[in-house]
Amino acid sequence: MTNTIADIEEADVILVTGSNTTENHPVISSFVKRAITRRGAKLLLVDPRRIKLAEFSDKWLRPNLGTDVAWLNGLMHVIIKEDLFDKTFVETRTEGFEALKATVEKFTPEHVSEITGIPAKDIVEAARLYAGAKAASILYCMGITQHTTGTDNVKSLANLAMLCGNLGIRGGGVNPLRGQNNVQGACDMGGLPNVFSGYQPVNDPGAISTMEKAWGVKGLSDKPGLAVTEMVPKAHAGELKAMYIIGENPLVSDPDLNHAEDSFAHLDFLVVQDIFMTETAKTADVVLPSCCFAEKDGTFSNTERRVQRVRKAVEPPGGVWEDWRITAEIASRMGVDMRADSSESVFAEIASVTPSYRGITWDRIDRDGLHWPCPAPDHPGTPILHAEAFPIGKGKFFAIEYIPPAESTDEEYPLYMTTGRLLYHYHTGSMTRKVDGLNERSPESFVEISKADAEKYALKDGERVKVASRRGEIEVVLRVSDKAVDGTVFIPFHFAEAAANRLTNAALDPVSKIPEFKVCAVRISKAA
């Protein structure tokens, strides 16, 4: 996030897209609702489903799946044509405006309506609403990123924010709501194949030198590794022989699960480190039991870049270790002494080799967290990014063309399917599905369908149906719902016994390597 969570309440207009905020981020959704009900902020919601936030919206656009670049270009077309953009910001803080202007020229409201299904007048009204705000905040989640054009979608949101001068100000920003509680911290720590901690490129000679000195080694590789979505096909091909998985359950969360299961079966050796015996752990050669968040000290770096302390609250079960201790012990037995003896010592090393964390110490975050970048011990942290300038100097507009989703419907698979989460469960259900009260609220998987589509295919609410794609088939309960849009169905992905990811497409965004979880062609038929 370029801004803070609290800053959402400072916005005059809030654009929420690709985020079912009340179910996926219920605490953050309360900031959105307070901004609307107490301060009179306007909500511009863009989502194909009638999610809860639609009740609070001043304008709700309901696009066809996978058409985000088109409607964003349409908004920018109107803003430029009607001279509503922030000329001072564009001239002094950005570059590439003319190329953007030329690209969005053809995205007239009428043309965008043909692609997205959004009425042309709604495109115009939404553009005026966003551009007319003194400060407008953009909130998005995996409904934007989990596409083959996810990177283009995010760049387009950044284009829109820069066009209207909504970066570096209170109440503005481009604010991704991260999908898990410490995914921001995992990325910050170099949990990506092409960077060290703090997003230092692995081919940067300065970063390599720093790491080699800190770790007492020579000859660190400058070649990026593999994204997880690249590892699975390489395992299938026999090119990847072993995997070590920590705190992840890919045999529920990966796309095209039938292929993923087959790929994992090709591995010579699989190690899983987790707090429960997940579906993936059940297939492992070795399972290493680790502490949960409440059983250890450490830090979380949350979606607003705030680094916070976590305290041990309860003792772990016997024989269960902290993740860092397990990893350090494996390294020691392989001949490398990591010299870690506590969470605090690990964090001290993190700060010493990570420029954006260098000013953060265990004592400074004893009570309140700090937002990175915090480059020095006397630095107050950075709640709002890009206030004076962008790290690269001027912000770059990207002229982006619309590219359709990787998969389309046909006579055999006439419906689009999208996936997501429910309020009562979390990710693959490793924890939440062990809670009786939550299982009472949401006991099993279902497919959500519109009334018109249910009638069209002679399906009844509550009956069991088969949902099939070009990759697999599952059996679930049918729910007729006014949340659904005609032509599109929704299935939550928490339920291993009827895993939505048996159906999803493994086609990847060429840059981020994220699969297209949000667009998949399916058919529905009555279960035998």
Q: Residues near 368 by Cβ (< 8 Å), separated by ≥ 6? A: none
Under 8 Å between Cβ of 461 and 454: yes
Please check whether residue 399 lies inside any domain of the structure: no
Task: Report the candidate in 195, 169, 139 with the shortest Cα–Cα distance to residue 20.
Answer: 139
At 489 the pLDDT is 96
Measured at the CA of 316, the angle between CA 310 and CA 317, to 5 degrees, comes to 165
In the chain, DSSP finds a helix count (H) and a strand count (E) of 18, 21
Measured at the CA of 78, the angle between CA 77 and CA 83, to 5 degrees, comes to 105
What's 475's domain CATH number? 2.40.40.20
Please check whether residue 60 lies inside any domain of the structure: yes
How many angstroms from the chain centroid is the CA of residue 528?
37
> Pick from 158, 177, 196: which residue ends a domain?
177
At 338 the pLDDT is 87
319 DSSP assignment: T
Please check whether residue 344 lies inside any domain of the structure: no
Under 8 Å between Cβ of 29 and 22: yes
* Cβ count within 10 A of residue 272: 26
Could you list the pLDDT tens digit for every one of the 528 residues in the chain? 999 999 999 999 999 999 999 999 999 999 999 999 999 999 999 999 999 999 999 999 999 999 999 999 999 999 999 999 999 999 999 999 999 999 999 999 999 999 999 999 999 999 999 999 999 999 999 999 999 999 999 999 999 999 999 999 999 999 999 887 788 999 999 999 999 999 999 999 999 999 999 999 999 999 999 999 999 999 999 999 999 999 999 999 999 999 999 999 999 999 999 999 999 999 999 999 999 999 999 999 999 999 999 999 999 999 999 999 999 999 999 998 888 889 999 999 999 999 999 999 999 999 999 999 999 999 999 999 999 999 999 999 999 999 999 999 999 999 999 999 998 998 898 888 999 999 999 999 999 999 999 999 999 999 999 999 999 999 999 999 999 999 999 999 999 999 999 999 999 999 999 999 999 999 999 998
Please check whether residue 517 lies inside any domain of the structure: yes
Alpha-carbon distance of 487 to 497, in angstroms, equals 25
What's 64's domain CATH number? 3.40.228.10
Please check whether residue 338 lies inside any domain of the structure: no
Please check whether residue 385 lies inside any domain of the structure: no
DSSP string, 424-452: T--TT-TTGGG-HHHHHHS-S-EEEE-HH
Report cis status (omega within 30 of 0) of the bond before 193.
no
> Pick from 142, 177, 212: which residue ends a domain?
177
Q: State the amino acid at position 111 in one-letter form.
A: H
Please check whether residue 302 lies inside any domain of the structure: no
Q: What are phi and psi of 35, to 5 degrees?
A: -60, -35
Q: What are phi and psi of 48, to 5 degrees?
A: -70, -20
> Pick from 156, 177, 198: which residue ends a domain?
177
Under 8 Å between Cβ of 288 and 330: no
Which ranges constitute the DSSP H helices of 168-256?
183-188, 205-215, 228-236, 250-253
393 DSSP assignment: B
* Cβ count within 10 A of residue 95: 14
How many angstroms from the chain centroid is the CA of residue 46?
17
Number of domains the chain is built from: 2
Q: Look up the domain containing 167 and give its range.
A: 6-177
Task: Report the candidate in 179, 246, 193 with the shortest Cα–Cα distance to residue 224.
Answer: 193
At 140 the pLDDT is 97
At 27 the pLDDT is 94
Measured at the CA of 179, the angle between CA 233 and CA 348, to 5 degrees, comes to 95
Q: Are strands 306-310 and 370-371 parallel, antiparallel or unpaired?
A: antiparallel
Alpha-carbon distance of 294 to 296, in angstroms, equals 6
Please check whether residue 10 lies inside any domain of the structure: yes
Give the full edge-to-edge strand order of the sheet including 174-176: 59-61, 42-46, 13-17, 136-140, 174-176
At 181 the pLDDT is 78
Task: Report the candidate in 431, 391, 516 with the shortest Cα–Cα distance to residue 180.
Answer: 431
**pTM, entire model:** 0.93
